[in-house]
Amino acid sequence: MRDKNSRMVSAKLPPLNALRAFLVAARHQSFSRAAVELNVTHGAISRQVRGLEEFLGVALFERQVRKVVLTEEGQQLFAETSPAMEQIGAAARALMVRAPARTVRINARPSFAVRWLIPRLPDFVAHYPGIAPQLSTTLLPPEKAPEAFDIAMRRGVSGWPSSIKAQPFLEDELVVVAAPSLLKKKPILEAKSLAQHTLLVCKTRKQDWDDWKMHVGLPRLRPAARLQLDHSHIMLQAAVDGLGFALTARSLLGMDVKQGRLVCPLPALRMSLEPIYYGSAPGVGRETHLFAAWLDRQAALG
């Protein structure tokens, strides 16, 4: 049983979840951005902040059209509590580093690992320094994986062991991409213009171009040439180097479009794909559940 002094101290503390919501909202000067970072709704942030304001008896934000601004009291609270929260986080991370090593064994296809997962893994390591991700890749379905895993990711629902209930976490679609230099030489304004170009074909997804041509109403379109490559990530590198046009899952584009290495010349001509699923092996530990929740947050960020 807690003593009287302990109860008095805890009674004076503000609700810590509300304080955390306030600190993130204050840092972003936005309830919406705070909601994205904390993986909750805008309304949840608003309610937490309102509850903290009621607890303290002062307004912490001025609510304006499409933005919030800290009041003088809000600025004071942020300045005095933010370092304390950082110190708490640092203390927790230090303990996690010293704790016995924990791992999560991840199984994925090579291209998805290279193009989607690995670029995001530093974020997981930063948030969970006590958990070491161990990644293995294979083209085989999870039910035939050569190594044991805690969590696997695959497109669609086929090939999963009956003991695993896979769930979708990432929507996807096929898009046409090419290097800007290639389009400068021979620009295309419609799908028919692809007949002038080389189409890059992924060996493990040979049917994609035929399915896409049928989808856009051009089943008889014949390209100038075809170049086949082993994996999607190799095909995309060939596209970046200007060897031809690639038809790829949007999830595999990484930063190539945002940073201008690839462009999408036919943005309206997309074809939906089966979502990507993840599934956890029976009896996995908390590390795997944390990784699964992190996957959901990453997918929500787009």
Residues of the chain above pLDDT 90, percent: 75
Provide the β-strand partners of residue 239.
none
Nearest-angstrom CA–CA distance, 159 and 163: 12
Distance CA 198, CA 281 (A): 42
- What's the confidence (pLDDT) of residue 129? 87
List the structure tokens of 269.
């001509």
- The pLDDT, as a whole number, for residue 101 is 62
Domain boundaries, the chain: 4-98, 101-302
CB-CB contact of 256 with 177 (8 Å): yes
**Model pLDDT for residues 242-263, shown as the tens digit of each residue:** 999 999 999 999 889 989 999 9
Strands 198-202 and 225-229 turn out to be: parallel
The listed CATH number (1.20.1560.10, 3.50.50.60, 1.10.10.10, 3.20.20.70) that belongs to domain 4-98: 1.10.10.10
Residue 4 has pLDDT above 70, yes or no: no
What CATH number labels 101-302? 3.40.190.290
Predicted local distance difference test score (pLDDT) of residue 8: 43
Rg from Cα positions in the chain: 25
DSSP string covering 62-129, please? EEETTEEEE-HHHHHHHHHHHHHHHHHHHHHHHHHHHSPPEEEEEEE-HHHIIIIIHHHHHHHHHH-T
How far apart CA 36 and CA 34 sit, in angstroms, is 5
Give the containing element (helix H, strand E) for 132: strand 131-137
pLDDT digits (tens, 9 = 90+) for 194-222: 999 999 999 999 999 999 999 999 999 99
pLDDT tens profile 92-128: 777 766 655 689 999 999 999 999 999 999 999 999 9
- pLDDT tens digits for 59-100? 999 988 778 999 999 999 999 998 988 888 788 777 766 655
Look-up of token digits 């290279």: 114
